[in-house]
Amino acid sequence: MYIALAILHVMIASGLILIVLLQSGKGADIGAAFGGGSSQTVFGGRGAATFLSKATTVLAILFMVMSIALTLLASQRGGTTVVPEDRPQPVSSAPAAPAPQTPAPAAPTQGAPTPQAPAAPAPGK
């Protein structure tokens, strides 16, 4: 239903744009008086302005009502996100906290073998 209302909203917006562009400006009558030759006689002498202005009013009201309805429907739908929940956290530029210091190992007791470090390899080979 939301998609159907959104498509209807786009159609109303397109109709509103078309109706506004069809209307002539305030100075169009002066141009016709000096030989412009393009007077609106399609809807009659006065009927064109009345018809187009009423159509503009109706479409503007429908556009506003549809905008409010779509806003209310979108707020009740429950939001979805394109960002996954398990995304890695960004690395901050702040210095990291120092690692906790571990106490030194206890001295070996008598009779226990002491760990020896492995011998280094002979140089040259």
The model scores a pTM over 0.85: no
**Residue environment code for 44-83, b if the CB has 16+ CB neighbours within 10 A, otherwise e:** eeeebeeebeebbeebeebeeebeeeeeeeeeeeeeeeee
Low-confidence ranges of the chain (pLDDT < 70): 26-49, 79, 87, 94-99, 104-115, 117-118, 125
pLDDT in tens, 78-98: 767 777 777 677 777 766 666
12: left (phi over 0), alpha (psi -120 to 50) or beta: alpha
* N residues, the chain: 125
